[in-house]
Amino acid sequence: MRPVTSVLSEVHQGNQSRTAAAALPLEWTVHLAAEAPRQTLMLGVIIAAVAVVSSLILGSAVWGLLAILLLGGATAEFLLPLHYTITSQGVRLRRLGVDREMRWEEIERMEITDRGVFLTPYKAPTRLEAFRGLFVWISAANEVRRELIIATLQKRIGEKV
């Protein structure tokens, strides 16, 4: 991830610009597979091929089903819709029965990338942040919403960033 030190957090309307800050809760859904149909098709072909090869080599369709379950689980963040909510308590991610929340007081740093924002509980980069941090995917298709989400996160995190 490439950290960005300054972020445009203004929404331009005509010649005027104003700082974007959303009323809470702010909710949105990102479905990465729907945004990348070619990659989704390739992933489906690879999973099917691994399932067929596993079934043939190991001699049972059970191994093919196991391969589908394991690879589907490993790629769930890409395949399933991700529901985000920014509340007064923090940022929450919901995905197929799995809830993950980072409270505002836990967040020490945020890194803005071209695909979203990475929230981390560490002041300096560390290997553990991949497991303790939360990546907030933001659809690149809607630039106004992206700026609104980033501005809201910056406002809520405040002086820590």
User: How would you classify residue 71: left for phi > 0, otherwise alpha for psi between -120 and 50, otherwise beta?
Assistant: alpha
Q: What pTM was estimated for this model as a whole? A: 0.77
What the block records as the tokens of 35 is: 């945004």
Under the banding of pLDDT at 50, 70 and 90, the label for residue 2 is: very low
pLDDT of residue 8: 30
Residue 92 main-chain phi, psi, to 5 deg: -120, 140
Q: Which domains does the chain have, with CATH numbers?
A: 10-30+82-160 (2.30.29), 35-76 (no CATH)
| pLDDT tens digits, 138-156 | 987 778 889 999 999 998 8
